[in-house]
Chains A and B, each alone.
Chain A
Amino acid sequence: MTLATKLQIANVTKRFSVGGAQDTIAVDDLTLDIRAGEFLVIVGPSGCGKTTVLNMLAGLDSPSSGTVAIDGRAITAPGPDRGVMFQDYALYPWQTVWGNVEFGLRYGPAGDGLDAAAREQRVRRTIDLVGLKGSERKYPNQLSGGMRQRTALARLMANEPDVLLMDEPLAALDAQTRIILQDELLRIWGQDRPQSERRTVVFITHAIDEAVFLADRVAVMTSHPGRLKALIDIPLARPRGDATRALPEFQALTQHIWSLIRDEAYRATVT
């Protein structure tokens, strides 16, 4: 079954001018179609323009040339159809866990047509889903990194956007929490449902094993300038779990992607 294209990145170049001198090319002539219901992971070393790509899809940044589109319509501004999970979570410190999760429903169009009871039910369900039951009244500064991450994920999910854009959401976590939350993320995304019922996800990471574990396809980018080096199918069966990480195919795919960016990663470390 071929799935419709959800997000389209066509010949996109993004330049930043730094102090009027030589422009920095963050993204160079990138073309990439992201399918509806697909979990696409962009992986690459720092400086490859991953976050810039995500920001352009979110409508927080615009390409210097080329186009980004959703469902065939050009993206010119942020919108509630594309939810973003920011690297630093961007939780509102003055809102409790409940208040943060409820925020978009209460103040934004995601809550249109929901009465107070329906809104509360949605927030309740989402908080339970991410495992934050009992922490509803806490403020973000009272939460661990993992719980903040869950709160940000719950806020994103509660709004039920078509597209989830996630910028290194697990980067700040320790290794164990990270593995647990990878499993949870796939569960919440609905990896046991048919692909036509899943949401579209664009997920950024610099961790290759994380990319292979989560993705339907991995877009490998290289830096200076940011270019698409390879687009790799991850044919591992879903639902995925601990057993997946032990598969020889998992190891082989991880090795393969590492071989694609190894030279550059070494260069970046040495210089």
Chain B
Amino acid sequence: MTSVSATRDAAWKRWVIGLALPLLLLAVWQIVGTTLQGPRMPVPTKVVAAAGIMIASGDLPMAILQSLGRVFAGFMVAAIIAIPLGLAMGQSRAVERNVDPLVETFRPVAAIAILPLAILWLGTGTAAAVMIVAYAAFFPLIVNTVAGAKNVNPTLLHAAATMGISRLTTIRTVVVPAALPSIFVGLRIALAVGWTAIVAAELAVGAKAGGGGSGGIGQMMFIFYAYSIELNRIIVCMIAVGLIALVLDRMLRALMRASMPWEHA
């Protein structure tokens, strides 16, 4: 019993210690914000109030849903291209030699840097946003898939070969499950950078379109910045972006756990 309550005590202490710094910073922010008062000075209590209004009106949930839809679409496009291509690169030297220089040339070009292309080709709506997310998500996904497909224990491949299993079936039944942990690392990074890219793209498209109808949480931030300097609301958007990234990552981790039961059996 003592040991159980001792560990419970320890868990409590960890929580308190973990929350101490954020709470302290919040308190400092609150004090500084109220003393300096002004339109450009957000204050925690006002941020909370603004969040309440934005959620109640449905504006914030709507913007988030719009952005999330784009992220998922772009993320899926990236996964459908990057995972099979990465597996092929990891298992075939010829494919890797051909594709790798292309990937490595474009990888340093930031997603936001292809925005001009995306807008000129696809306009300022959802299609351009999806393209930017897909572009951003593609690189971490392919790099990690290649690494996973390359690092398959060769004996596992030999075992499949000695059972006469065809190469394509071996990729499906041996390479994919063996590479799954790496692929999931890629998916998690891809989802994070995709989410980052969508906010940036919506902000920028909002700027170009003068606050036109492209929507999403990034554009919402742009409107609060350019038309009605509402810093508290911008802070609400920032926090929402962070929290949603956290939730998305946790969901992906849960999916990873569910799809690899052997890892924690």
Complex CA distance for A84 and B165, rounded to whole angstroms:
13
Query: Cβ of A84 and Cβ of B173 under 8 Å apart?
Result: no
A/B interface sample: 11 pairs, CB < 8 A:
A60-B161, A78-B162, A80-B162, A80-B163, A80-B164, A83-B162, A90-B156, A94-B262, A103-B163, A141-B262, A142-B265
Given contacts A94-B262, A139-B262, A142-B265, contact A110 B164 (CB under 8 A): yes
Tell me which residues across on chain A come within 8 A of B177, comparing CB atoms: 92, 94
What is the chain B residue whose CB lies nearest that of A93?
B262
Query: Cβ of B169 and Cβ of A86 under 8 Å apart?
Result: no
Tell me which residues across on chain A come within 8 A of B8, comparing CB atoms: none
Query: Cβ of A78 and Cβ of B164 under 8 Å apart?
Result: yes
Tell me which residues across on chain A come within 8 A of B265, comparing CB atoms: 138-139, 141-142
14 additional A-B pairs beyond A82-B162, A109-B164, A159-B163, beta carbons within 8 Å, are A59-B161, A77-B161, A78-B161, A80-B163, A84-B159, A86-B158, A90-B158, A92-B159, A93-B262, A95-B262, A107-B163, A107-B165, A110-B164, A142-B265
A58 contacts the other chain (CB 8 A)? yes
Query: Cβ of B158 and Cβ of A60 under 8 Å apart?
Result: yes
Complex CA distance for A60 and B177, rounded to whole angstroms:
23
Tell me which of B155, B169, B180 contacts A88 (CB under 8 A).
Answer: B155
Given contacts A94-B262, A139-B265, A141-B262, contact A108 B155 (CB under 8 A): no
Question: Contact string, B126-158, partner A, CB cutoff 8 A, digits 1/0?
Answer: 000000000000000000000000000101101
Complex CA distance for A94 and B174, rounded to whole angstroms:
9
Chain A interface helix/strand/loop/mixed: loop
Tell me which of A84, A88, A107 contacts B162 (CB under 8 A).
Answer: A84
Question: Contact string, A88-128, partner B, CB cutoff 8 A, digits 1/0?
Answer: 10101111000000011001111000000000000000000
How many A-B residue pairs have C-beta atoms within 8 angstroms? Tell me: 70
A66 contacts the other chain (CB 8 A)? no
A131 contacts the other chain (CB 8 A)? no
CB contact list, A211-268 vs B, under 8 A: none
Q: Which 3 A-B pairs have the closest CB atoms?
A: A80-B164, A104-B163, A90-B159
A190 contacts the other chain (CB 8 A)? no
Given contacts A92-B174, A93-B262, contact A79 B159 (CB under 8 A): no
Query: Cβ of B164 and Cβ of A92 under 8 Å apart?
Result: no
What is the chain A residue whose CB lies nearest that of B165?
A108
Complex CA distance for A108 and B155, rounded to whole angstroms:
17
Interface size class of A (residues with CB under 8 A): 20 to 34
B66 to chain A, nearest CB (A): 38
Interface size class of B (residues with CB under 8 A): 20 to 34
Tell me which residues across on chain B come within 8 A of A103, comparing CB atoms: 163, 173
B182 to chain A, nearest CB (A): 14
Complex CA distance for A141 and B163, rounded to whole angstroms:
22
CB contact list, B14-67 vs A, under 8 A: none
Most chain-A CB neighbours within 10 Å: which of B159, B160, B169, B260? B159
Tell me which residues across on chain B come within 8 A of A139, comparing CB atoms: 261-262, 265
B149 to chain A, nearest CB (A): 15
Complex CA distance for A58 and B163, rounded to whole angstroms:
10
Tell me which residues across on chain A come within 8 A of B155, comparing CB atoms: 86, 88, 90
B173 to chain A, nearest CB (A): 5
Complex CA distance for A177 and B107, rounded to whole angstroms:
54
Tell me which residues across on chain B come within 8 A of A78, comparing CB atoms: 158, 161-162, 164
B156 to chain A, nearest CB (A): 6
Tell me which residues across on chain A come within 8 A of B162, comparing CB atoms: 58-60, 78-80, 82-84
Complex CA distance for A77 and B155, rounded to whole angstroms:
15
Given contacts A104-B165, A108-B164, contact A86 B262 (CB under 8 A): no
Most chain-A CB neighbours within 10 Å: which of B163, B165, B261? B163
Question: Contact string, B227-265, partner A, CB cutoff 8 A, digits 1/0?
Answer: 000000000000000000000000000000000111001
Tell me which of A77, A83, A95, A138 contacts B163 (CB under 8 A).
Answer: A83
Tell me which residues across on chain B come within 8 A of A138, comparing CB atoms: 265
Query: Cβ of A108 and Cβ of B262 under 8 Å apart?
Result: no
Query: Cβ of A108 and Cβ of B163 under 8 Å apart?
Result: yes
What is the chain B residue whose CB lies nearest that of A94?
B177
Question: Contact string, B207-242, partner A, CB cutoff 8 A, digits 1/0?
Answer: 000000000000000000000000000000000000
Tell me which residues across on chain B come within 8 A of A60, comparing CB atoms: 158, 161-162
